[in-house]
Structure 1
């Protein structure tokens, strides 16, 4: 009788272990692959930094290198966050299986200790023994599939942890490389002498405009009224032709849109973009620098003129590059955001894995004005159309 009971227990144990949704199912290795791709991108950025130092156009090369570091670090943060979430999912599934597997293991151990002849005896006689055997023959393949799924889950868990360990080393090099690239860029801009100038700023007149301005709109209108050489009609046509296709001047996320009310009930005619500290800000289109410096309560402000009748205001920077009157090419650096980048690798990993968004602590305000009137940046920037 004991052997039949053990056969029944085994069948019940196997069925229990195969409860719907209980098995750990092997899924795509996307988080680990994304992390490896981010690590490779940062390695490429490190190589690009070496090459940029030898480039004839050092500023353009270094700007692209800084952007490559920022994109690589952003991708690494995202992949680490996804890897952490995937690891928690796998670990939770394995923990949920532990109770079922313990019961099944107990049944198997009981069978192992039982005499072999007793296993053939079932309380219901030969028919019961046959039925038990049929149950076992049906369950065995499923048990094998379950064991394979669990093994795959454990393997993926180990792969994720290995990738995270590798990411720490790449992270250190990436943060140091980004810092070096920013330093080299600042040094190169300080030595720059070859930029064309559309006009030479009247510092006394500019100070008068700053002192008399009580709003950003008022200051922008005053700038537009200042006589400067025309950029030409052809340029205006070129700028209008890229409407809806402009690249964002900074790597970040739009958190407030045109005339969207903030927590204080204030509406602004522009974008507010959340960025990481020290993110580089560039010109989305060839433009003349009309103003650089602090303004009201906006922090450091850059006002550029991409064409006659247009002004683009970028407010909230921490460091500014260039001089008023210079004509910048598309993608030229205008400055860096403020703040202090997380330099400690463990703090970086914690912030990345938690995904709280606290690391995007800086905000850049972007306002585009046409003939003195603010226009919706969503109509001009490609990223502005993505409202997800």
Structure 2
């Protein structure tokens, strides 16, 4: 009995885990439901492009938050399982001792070989240990209940994920259609497609193409030129993601580029980080689909690696306007659950290349863009 009591006192007591993970996942599900309502409202909005752009962003934020909540839930569930497994022998020994005690006749429990004094001392020890035993039992019960709740939460999330992924795809499709029908943006100039084609054919570097870009203008339609110089160093990145390589950093093959490489999730929305003229859009060299923005006179922001690029060359795009989509295929709901069960975050399998040029030379993009 004394060994069992000392074992009970030695068991580590951890505070009951908060339900933050479950609350975060439920809050994300509510954000996805709100995004669904936003998508319905956007169909009849006066500015459908703007409304749908915000809807796509809402879906992306909701899905990211849901995945983060599920990841945290999986990590917490696994931590509880590991803790219980590590303490299995101690708990089993304690339960065995308590079970043996429960089978002893009650009168014998009141007697002690040392006589009345020993019996009194044993009673005092038992009275001190009983609250600890009760607290330990309550903690174990709470841990087991929390683990069960977290497992149920992850299983019930599959329908929410399916609806969210489907809604995001519908919003992207509606956005692409709305942009193709848009005619309300001001045009700064008209493009000379023949000059553009000749420039593409005659250059084999991004430097050469950027230097000759001024030759592709057919006619100036407006003297209005966006000027973002006052926002230098504060401009947000055009896509949600993580910077893999900075200005001039070498990749695994030892190749360096004068720009940022940003890892993004599949089908992420790319937006104009600041009001700018769309100087070029289309495939270029080995960069894939490229969009070139001019946020200030003599300054070019080059975005490469998109799967789709929106807009017409010469348009003045407002800040936050949808510019295109990254490539790749979003994972299926069961793949997301598998990733989160393993403790992984949202995969960023696509990369966007961002370069800033002032005059004829590239500069560190971080002089213009705020770090993510």
TM category, shorter: over 0.9
Gaps of 5+ in 1: 1-8
Deviation sequence 1:37-83 (CA, Å, 0-9, x none): 11111111111100100101001100110111111111111111111
Partner secondary structure for residue 37 of structure 2: helix
Taking structure 2 as the reference length, the TM-score comes to: 0.93
Who is 2:137 aligned against?
A: 147
- Give 1:306's match in structure 2, choosing from 289, 292, 295: 295
Alpha-carbon distance between aligned partners in 1 of 2:207 and 2:123, rounded to the nearest angstrom: 84
Q: Which residue of 2 aligns with 1:127?
A: 117
CA change 1:69–1:211 in 2 (3 A) is same
- CA contact under 8 A between 2:299 and 2:358: conserved in structure 1? yes
Q: 2:128 aligns with which of 138, 158, 162?
A: 138
Q: Is this contact kept in 2: 1:246–1:380, CA < 8 A?
A: yes
SS at match of 1:111: helix
The corresponding residue for 1:30 is: 20
Q: Which residue of 1 aligns with 2:354?
A: 366
Distance 1:17 1:305 in 2: 70
Alpha carbons 1:249, 1:281 under 8 Å: kept? yes
Could you tell me whether the CA contact under 8 Å between 1:70 and 1:178 is conserved in 2?
Answer: yes
Identify the match of residue 76 of structure 1 among 42, 66, 69: 66
SS at match of 2:244: strand
Give RMSD over aligned pairs: 2.0
1:334-359 Cα deviation digits (max 9, x unpaired): 111111111x2111211233354672
Unaligned runs of 5+ in 2: none
Q: Residues 24 and 94 of structure 1 are in contact (CA less than 8 Å); yes or no, is this contact kept in structure 2?
A: no
Single out whichever of 325-334 and 352-361 deviates more from structure 2.
352-361
How far apart, in 1, do the equivalents of 2:6 and 2:222 lie? Answer: 78
Q: What is the deviation of 1:115?
A: 2.4
**Residue of structure 2 in register with 1:334 after alignment:** 323
Q: Report the TM-score when normalising by structure 1.
A: 0.90
Distance 1:334 1:353 in 2: 34
Alignment match, 1:280: 269
**Local SS of the residue matching 1:67:** helix
Rounded Cα–Cα distance in structure 1 between residues aligned with 2:214 and 2:225: 19
2:3 to 12, 23, 35: 12
The offset of 1:141, in angstroms, is 1.1
Partner residue of 1:204?
Answer: 194
Counterpart contact for 1:24–1:150, Cα < 8 Å:
no
Q: Which moved more, 1:271-280 or 1:345-354?
A: 345-354
Paired residues for 1:24-63 under 5 Å: 24-63=14-53
The count of residues paired between Structure 1 and Structure 2 equals 371
**Larger displacement relative to structure 2 (225-234 or 293-302):** 225-234
Q: Deviations over 1:255-296 (max 9, x none)?
A: 111112211112211111111111111101111111111111
**Which of 331, 335, 343 is matched with 1:347 structurally?**
335
